[in-house]
Structure 1
Amino acid sequence: MFRRIADLFKDRSPLDELVVVEAVDQAMNAAIDQARATLDVFWTKFDAGEADEFQLKAGLTTPNGAIEHVWLRVSGRQNGRIVGRLGNQPVDLVDVNIGDEIQVEPDRVSDWAYFKAGRQYGAFTQRAMLDRADPRTRRQIEAVLSPNPLETDA
């Protein structure tokens, strides 16, 4: 399923995937707050293995002091840190590449998503950015997103 989402962007360069959002963006900050407030839902599904793919978005500090948010394909937790492989090519993080395994502190999480039965749950920041996407990309993302970020049993 992760490849299916990545395929949405195959005709675009890595720079096209970068979306710059101001730190004071209210919609994005609300989405991050909602993702963090419901992170226990993600970990419950992860621990139970109740989905096909598990991803977290983490904000990492770049060499110039900015924060770049990247998706991780989560493989587990180790010594209080989250372990995963980069799901997209960073733009300003010069020492890591797509597919590299990294560890991040839990307080760096800015979003979560999991894929179940062909639908993506969570993805709060993606949902917040839908109205800013071009029409084609928006239709493609909406085709995968679940109607609600949380399953009814969450």
Structure 2
Amino acid sequence: EMKFPKPVLLALKDKDIHIPTAIQIQGIPVALSGRDMIGIASTGSGKTITFALPMIMLCLEQEYVLPFERGEGPYALIIVPSRELARQIYDVIMDIFQWIEKDPKMPKLRAGLCIGGVPIREQAQVFKDGVHVCVATPGRLSDMLTKKIFNLE
């Protein structure tokens, strides 16, 4: 009903997501409308997809209007308290991005992971190419912003 692009629907199907959960039914339309929301749901209820899909749709829309240039971005910033949660969210987003990239009619979207415990040089290169989405922990985000690896302007 929400008319997501076919690659996004294929990505959801690949993750065995066929019917939206309660948080997704309530949250996705609100987020797609551009309104703020607070969603509370248990672990495994689909919260990541609830905020990721509208964010990805915004990135696609922006990419169609004005294609990304090297060094630009991010359009979206997700800040989480732990490396493990950051990696988990990043992986979900990248899975959807890879499905989008399989369709030659769709633009390529890029994400960056900004966490401690990984050499900052590796992460810096990804951001120099420009990212649509940044998934970060507070400490490494602050470090990368201080070192002007990317900015949030």
TM-score, normalised with respect to structure 1: 0.29
Structure 2 length as normaliser, TM-score? 0.30
Q: Say which one has the larger Rg.
A: 2
Q: Which has the higher strand share?
A: 1
